[in-house]
Amino acid sequence: MNHSKKAVVQKSIGMIFLVAGTGKLLLPLAGGAIPTFQLVLEAIGLPQPALMALAICLMEVTGGIALIKNRYRKSASLVLGSILLGALTTFSIPSTLSTPLVVQGLELGREFFRIPLEGGLLCALVWINRKIDLVSYSEWKIGWLRLISDTGRPSLFQSRQTNPCRTTCGSNSQPAVE
The CA distances from residue 134 to 2, 22, 131, 172, in Å, are: 10, 35, 10, 40
Predicted local distance difference test score (pLDDT) of residue 61: 96
* Nearest one of 94, 96, 86 to 37, comparing CA atoms: 86
Provide the whole-model pTM: 0.68
pLDDT in the model for residue 146: 60
**More confident position, 156 or 89:** 89
- Look at residue 163 and tell me whether its pLDDT is greater than 80: no
Q: What pLDDT digit, counting tens, does each position of 117-143 carry?
A: 999 999 999 988 886 555 555 555 565
Cα dihedral 118/119/125/130 (nearest 10): 180
7, pLDDT greater than 50: yes
Contact 80, 58 (CB under 8 A): no
pLDDT band at 159 (very low <50, low <70, confident <90, very high): very low
Does 157 or 19 have the greater pLDDT score? 19
pLDDT of residue 20: 93
Angstrom distance (rounded) from CA 74 to CA 66: 10
Handedness of CA 108, 114, 63, 18 (dihedral sign): negative
Q: Quick one: pLDDT at residue 107? A: 86
CA distance 100 to 125: 28
**Statement: residue 54 has pLDDT above 90:** yes
pLDDT surpasses 80 at 33 = no
Across the range 91-104, mean pLDDT stands at: 87
What pLDDT, on the 0 to 100 scale, is given for residue 36?
Answer: 87
pLDDT band of residue 109 (cuts 50, 70, 90) is confident
